[in-house]
Amino acid sequence: MQDFREFIEKNIVIFDGAMGTRLYEKGVYINRVYDELNLSQPALIQEVHREYLAAGAMVLETNSFGANRFKLEPHGLADKLEVINFQAAKLAREAAGDNAWVAGSIGPLGIRIEPWGKTSVEEAEEAFTEQARGLLAGGVDIFILETFFDINEIHQAIKAVRKLSDKPIIASMTINEDGNALYGTTVDVFTPKLESWGADVIGLNCSVGPKTMYDAIEKMRALTRLNLIAQPNAGLPRVVDGRMIYLCNPEYFGEYARRFFQLGVRMVGGCCGTTPEHIKWVANSAKALSPGGKGAILHQFRQVESVEEIVEVVPLSQKSALGKKLAENKFVVTAELTPPKGCDPEQVIRRAQQLKEAGIDAINIPDGPRASARLSPLAMSLLIEQKVGIETILHYCCRDRNILGIQSDLLGAYAIGLRNILAITGDPPKVGNYPQATAVFDIDAIGLVNVIHRLNHGRDLGNNAIGRPTGFVCGVGANPGAIDLDLEVSRFEWKVDAGAEYAITQPVFDVELLERFLERISHVRIPVFAGIWPLASLKNAEFMNNEVPGASVPEPLLQRMRKADTIEAQREEGILIAREALERVRKIVNGVQVSVPFGRVESVLKVIEVLG
């Protein structure tokens, strides 16, 4: 075969269509690992390849889209990763012969990588390297990195492939109906990035039909000199008699292929829902145009200068009263008030007023304590700030919100005047009162801090400018009593690296645990507020010790609670223990968060008396 790079400079190229759609039509159910079929049913995979070749495809993509360690491991196939990719390339190579190029297909890892997930960029790059190594050994001519929605992840894939080979790289993003990538990244953001990272061809595939993709590709054409690829779905799927059916007919698909070619797109193929019949119509459209392809190009590249907007980040001291205290290294005293059950906030507002009069700096509002249903903490925070005139710290958790909803909530919170956030992952519903409820954990606390940090720098999830940046004071949780302290310290490091500005610990009963934790995080130390919990009774102490993760009540303290023979005496002993803890920690931390168990504000007032 002719050199691919040379060929596409003068000719248009037809890619194949969907592998999964054809396998499903041939009776392979979706509960199978399609990549594994390279080993167990190689003849079937080659049959699909030959169908597309007969339809006019000039490039066959390997059946390896999900053949990475993260997707194969749950099925016990991680140890076969390299051989699955090798066989994918080998089968396509044998089917193509000298009649078509073979493109090694690599898709997203199926997990979130930093800054949105726990997997580091180095781990992601290594996973892509493993897959690319197998495909390279099997004889691919090209690499196609497709259906990516996170530009950070596709960057790691490009780096991985380029370290192994100088073969052409096609980098293809996927978009929503609004024309932006799934994280909201716009065409004018990801197009120049893909070009600067060294891709030979860039473009779009999957998720949308020909019309929406055409509109987005038209924008890309104006932003880059690179050759483009378009691989739309066969329209949007519809449920017909319980089956997902793509309703875009091959003739319509072929008409849009002609429009893509006339726009200047060099490569057109199909994604989900497309069949050999769709590709046949793409081939017919190609034949109807001039042989060299250049005569069909109506739209040419025009240089668009990218002007980076200068963002003035809000200094910590100007973000809020809490931020000012942190910037001036002053001791901070906060109290935690739980939102009420039901919709009547008045009792909580009265308690907040008492705490304000006692000199508390801010009120912490937890989000769904123990995953129970209560009044929205965002609404509770706003009501307290409006009616009491004291700042709140909104505990914002990732549970039950996808990443786009999180961004929307945060922008809304800032617009209504909330400035202090505690970013937490949140309790799964099964921990609380509704075990049948499902959860959404698109990101964890580390990813949430990254979201806030970007908004504070005037950028959204897709790295698009949002105009005036937010000015949140961003805090995180910390658990000195974690069972796996190494993991807790590692996660704390990531939170600080992501942009955390302070931390609030779980309730501290064993001060030595806190001291050890502070020593472990000394290299990434940010202001730390120690959690202080006035024990309300012996039962409360036993509950904290046995059922609250990270809360360790030492046996001597339990003995003290047992010696108190009435509830009133136990409550007074709990207050005394909290006072002692506060006196011990005040010299080693930057502040405290005093909880208000069962709404007893008087307990908090007695505890903070030791501060004068």
pLDDT digits (tens, 9 = 90+) for 471-526: 999 999 999 988 899 999 999 998 999 899 999 999 999 999 999 999 999 999 99
Q: Is the Cα dihedral 104, 225, 272, 46 positive or negative?
A: negative
| Residue that finishes a domain, picked among 263, 296, 329 | 296
Task: Say whether both 229 and 347 belong to one domain.
Answer: no
Q: What pLDDT shows up at residue 292?
A: 45
- Separation of alpha carbons 572 and 318, rounded Å: 40
- Give the residue ranges of DSSP H helices in 424-537: 445-456, 485-498, 511-520
Burial bucket for residue 254 (CB in 10 Å: 0-12, 13-18, 19+): buried
Nearest to 65 by CA among 274, 272, 233: 272
Looking at the chain, the whole-number percentage of residues with pLDDT higher than 70 is 91
Q: What is the DSSP letter of 361?
A: S
Task: Say whether both 32 and 126 belong to one domain.
Answer: yes
Entry pTM? 0.74
- Is the residue at 364 inside a domain? yes
Task: Say whether both 370 and 425 belong to one domain.
Answer: yes
- Is the residue at 46 inside a domain? yes
pLDDT digits (tens, 9 = 90+) for 273-324: 999 999 999 999 888 874 444 334 434 444 444 445 678 899 999 999 999 9
Place of tokens 């004889």: 139
Task: Say whether both 200 and 233 belong to one domain.
Answer: yes
pLDDT digits (tens, 9 = 90+) for 538-558: 999 898 888 777 788 899 999
By residue count, the chain amounts to 612
| Strands laid side by side in the 13-14 sheet | 13-14, 267-268, 227-231, 201-205, 169-173, 142-148, 101-106, 59-61
Find which of 85-94, 391-400, 549-558 is predicted with most confidence, using mean pLDDT.
85-94
Q: Indicate whether 217 pLDDT > 60.
A: yes
The average confidence (pLDDT) of the chain is 89
Task: Say whether both 289 and 336 belong to one domain.
Answer: no
Task: Say whether both 22 and 112 belong to one domain.
Answer: yes
Q: 435 is in which domain, residue-wise?
A: 320-533+586-598
Quote the number of domains for the chain: 2
Q: Is the Cα dihedral 211, 223, 175, 186 positive or negative?
A: negative
Task: Give the pairing type, strands 591-595 and 332-336.
Answer: parallel
Between CA 254 and CA 262, with CA 260 as vertex, the angle to 5 degrees is 110
Q: For residue 127, which amino acid is it?
A: A
Task: Say whether both 351 and 289 belong to one domain.
Answer: no
Task: Say whether both 341 and 253 belong to one domain.
Answer: no
- Separation of alpha carbons 552 and 541, rounded Å: 9
Task: Say whether both 291 and 409 belong to one domain.
Answer: no
- Is the residue at 311 inside a domain? no
Task: Say whether both 254 and 337 belong to one domain.
Answer: no
- Is the residue at 611 inside a domain? no
Q: What is the CATH number of the domain that holds 381?
A: 3.20.20.220
Q: What is the CATH number of the domain that holds 216?
A: 3.20.20.330
Which residues share a beta bridge with 175?
181
Task: Say whether both 390 and 257 belong to one domain.
Answer: no
- Separation of alpha carbons 499 and 454, rounded Å: 9
Nearest to 358 by CA among 12, 98, 103, 608: 608
Residues in Cβ contact with 496 at an 8 Å cutoff, skipping those fewer than 6 apart: 524, 526
- Separation of alpha carbons 105 and 114, rounded Å: 23
Q: Does residue 363 sit in helix, strand or coil?
A: strand
Nearest to 431 by CA among 548, 313, 314, 320: 548
